[in-house]
Structure 1
Amino acid sequence: MNTVIHIWDILVKSNTFNFIVMLFILGWIVKKFAIKDSLEGLKNSVINSIEKAKEEKENAKLELQKAEKSVENLEEEVSSRIKSAKQHAENVAENILLKTEDKIKQIENNIHRAVEAEEKTISAKLASKTAKASSELAKNHIKSMLKAHPELHKKYIEQSIEELG
């Protein structure tokens, strides 16, 4: 029994054991929150939005060409439309980037909070198990000392009686 407790004590104090436990926890968190899928969805959303912006830019160019062919004397109006389309595309791209950054920060914050919560839970469980194991080890040590030296048992009883009186 002492060998098992000694081995357990070595494992608990081992950095390798703690590292393995941390890896399992991080793996569980990644699976639990489907971070990869979330980021992939976010990436696809950004790509789609950029493609939409490119399509809008191409559509604006086509409209410009039609306008130049049909009405050559309206160069100012055409240049205005080009500027508007470019500005719109830039605004959309900038807006997408801002939203993406916000989502990434939000995901990182959620991950950080989840990791902290798991760390606290595991720390509390580990402390509880360590305390129980230490208490059991101390109890067994005291029992073995009293069995090996019966005179100590009598001595401790007398000391306790003196302290009460």
Structure 2
Amino acid sequence: MNEILHIWDTIVKTNTFNFAVMIALLWWICKKFNIGGILENAKQNVINSIEKSKEEKAAAKEKLEAANELVKNLDSDIASQLNEAGKQGDLLSTDLLHDTENKISRINDNISRVVASEEQTISSRLTNKTATAAVKTAENHIKNILKNTPELHDRYIQESINELDRIQV
């Protein structure tokens, strides 16, 4: 029995036995906790992450190419739009200037018509006032003459009667 113990002691002290025990223990742990499945899931997750990264990289590359395509003609598009805006501005300013000149012309025409109308109104009023003043002056003059020369008064009365007689006949 000593010999068996000695052999057993030698076996336990050798690295091979320790290695075999360690392998058996690892195999039992792997079986118990399904380490193979866990490693397979981790491996699949890594593969999926790599595939997803490749897809995202491809999508980002497509977006970058699309953005580069949009930006490629950006300078010429901006220059074209600025040129078009300049043309539109010139046309707008020309139209605005033309419209303003037309409005000024119409305003001047209206002013001329109003001034002419006011001139006629003032002229008519002035003529009426002048005629009224002339009639009053003539009336005063006739009254003064008749006052100063009473025989003219009688003579005018007689002439008026003669005229009335001639009209009635």
Task: Report how far residue 110 of structure 1 moved.
Answer: 2.2
**Structure 2 length normalisation: TM-score?**
0.50
Q: Report deviation, 1:81.
A: 2.7
Q: Which residue of 2 aligns with 1:141?
A: 141
Q: Equivalent residue for 1:108?
A: 108
Aligned pairs, number: 96
- Percent identity of paired positions between Structure 1 and Structure 2: 44
Q: Matches of 2:140 and 2:127 in 1, distance apart?
A: 20
Inter-partner Cα distance in structure 2 for 1:112 and 1:105: 10
Residue 73 of structure 1 deviates from its aligned partner by 5.1
CA distance in 2 between counterparts of 1:85 and 1:164 reads 91
Q: Tell which structure's C-alpha radius of gyration is larger.
A: 2
**1:129: how far off?**
0.7
For the structure 1 residues 125 and 73, does the alpha-carbon distance in structure 2 shift closer, same or farther, using more than 3 Å as the test?
closer
User: Which stretch has the larger CA shift, 103-112 or 142-151?
Assistant: 103-112
Higher RCO (CA < 8 A, seq sep 6+): 1
Does 2:86 match 1:86?
Answer: yes
| Cα displacement string for residues 94-151 of structure 1 (whole angstroms, at most 9, x for unaligned residues) | 1110111122112212211221221122111111110110000000111111111111
Alpha-carbon distance in structure 2 between the residues aligned to 1:73 and 1:127: 79
CA distance in 2, matches of 1:144, 1:73: 103
Distance 2:82 2:146 in 1: 95
Shift of 1:90: 0.9
Unaligned runs of 5+ in 2: 1-69
Query: Letter of the aligned partner of 1:138 in structure 2?
Result: A
Residue aligned with 1:140, SS? helix
Task: Give every structure 1 segment of 4 or more consecutive aligned residues whose post-TM-superposition deviation is greater than 3 Å.
Answer: 70-80
- Which residue pairs with 2:99 in the alignment? 99
Other structure's SS at 2:157 match: helix
Q: Structure 1: any 5+ residue segments left out of the alignment?
A: 1-69
Query: Which residues of 2 match residues 30-69 of structure 1 at below 5 A?
Result: none
Tell me which amino acid in the other structure corresponds to 1:123.
S
Amino acid at match of 1:95: D
Structure 2 equivalent of residue 122 of structure 1? 122
Q: Deviations over 1:8-57 (max 9, x none)?
A: xxxxxxxxxxxxxxxxxxxxxxxxxxxxxxxxxxxxxxxxxxxxxxxxxx
Change over 3 Å in CA distance of 1:73–1:146 after alignment to 2 = closer
